[in-house]
Structure 1
Amino acid sequence: MTNPFRGNPMSFFARSAAALAAALLLSQPATAEPGFYAGAFLGIVWNGDQTLDGAAGAPEVSLEEGGDLSVFAGYNFGAVGPAGSLRTELQFSGRAADVKRITGGAGPVTGTFEEGAAFVNVLYDFDHTGTRFVPYVGAGFGHAELGYKNYGTAGGQVLDGTDEVWGAQAIAGLGYDVSEKVRIFADYRYRDYRQSRVATTTGGAARVDADSASLNLGFLYAF
Structure 2
Amino acid sequence: MHQKVAVILGGLLCAMTALPAVAEERLQDGFYFGGQIGLVLPEDTSTSASGLDFDADYDAGYGIGLVGGWDFGQNFRVEGEWTFRSYAVDSVSAEGFGFKGSGNADLNVLMINGYFDLPWKDHRFVPYIGSGIGLAILSADDVGAGGEKILDDTDTAFAYQFMAGLSYDLTNNVTAGVEYRFLDTTDTLDADIDSTTHSILFNLRYRFSN
State how far apart, in whole Å, the 1-side matches of 2:83 and 2:149 are. 28
State how far apart, in whole Å, the 2-side matches of 1:131 and 1:152 are. 51
User: What's the CA shift string for 1:48-107, capped at 9, x where partnerless?
Assistant: 11111355341000110010001100001111xxxxx10000010011100001003665
Question: In 1, are the aligned partners of 2:80 and 2:113 still within 8 Å (CA)?
Answer: yes
Question: In 1, are the aligned partners of 2:19 and 2:124 still within 8 Å (CA)?
Answer: no
Q: Which runs of 4+ in 1 moved over 6 A?
A: none
Output the TM-score relative to the length of structure 1.
0.80
Question: In 2, are the aligned partners of 1:30 and 1:182 still within 8 Å (CA)?
Answer: no
Provide the residue aligned with 2:78 in structure 1: 88
Alignment pair present for 1:97 and 2:87:
yes
> Shift of the alpha carbon at 1:153?
1.3
Output the TM-score relative to the length of structure 2.
0.85
The residue type paired with residue 208 of structure 1 is I
Deviates more, 1:28-37 or 1:144-153: 28-37
Unaligned runs of 5+ in 2: 1-16
Q: Percent identity?
A: 27
Provide the residue aligned with 1:159 in structure 2: 151
State how far apart, in whole Å, the 1-side matches of 2:205 and 2:119 are. 15
Alignment pair present for 1:186 and 2:173:
no
Provide the residue aligned with 2:22 in structure 1: 27
Alignment partner of 1:150 out of 110, 120, 142: 142
Deviates more, 1:47-56 or 1:102-111: 102-111
Alignment partner of 2:35 out of 30, 34, 40: 40
The residue type paired with residue 191 of structure 1 is L
Report 1:13-24 matches (<5 A): 23=18
> Shift of the alpha carbon at 1:197?
2.5
**SS of structure 1 residue aligned to 2:187:** strand
**SS of structure 2 residue aligned to 1:28:** helix
Provide the residue aligned with 1:15 in structure 2: none
Unaligned runs of 5+ in 1: 1-21, 80-84, 199-205
Alignment pair present for 1:218 and 2:203:
yes
Alignment pair present for 1:118 and 2:118:
no
Question: In 2, are the aligned partners of 1:29 and 1:177 still within 8 Å (CA)?
Answer: no
State how far apart, in whole Å, the 2-side matches of 1:60 and 1:140 are. 28
> Shift of the alpha carbon at 1:27?
2.9
Give the alignment's Cα RMSD to 1 decimal: 2.0
**SS of structure 2 residue aligned to 1:195:** coil
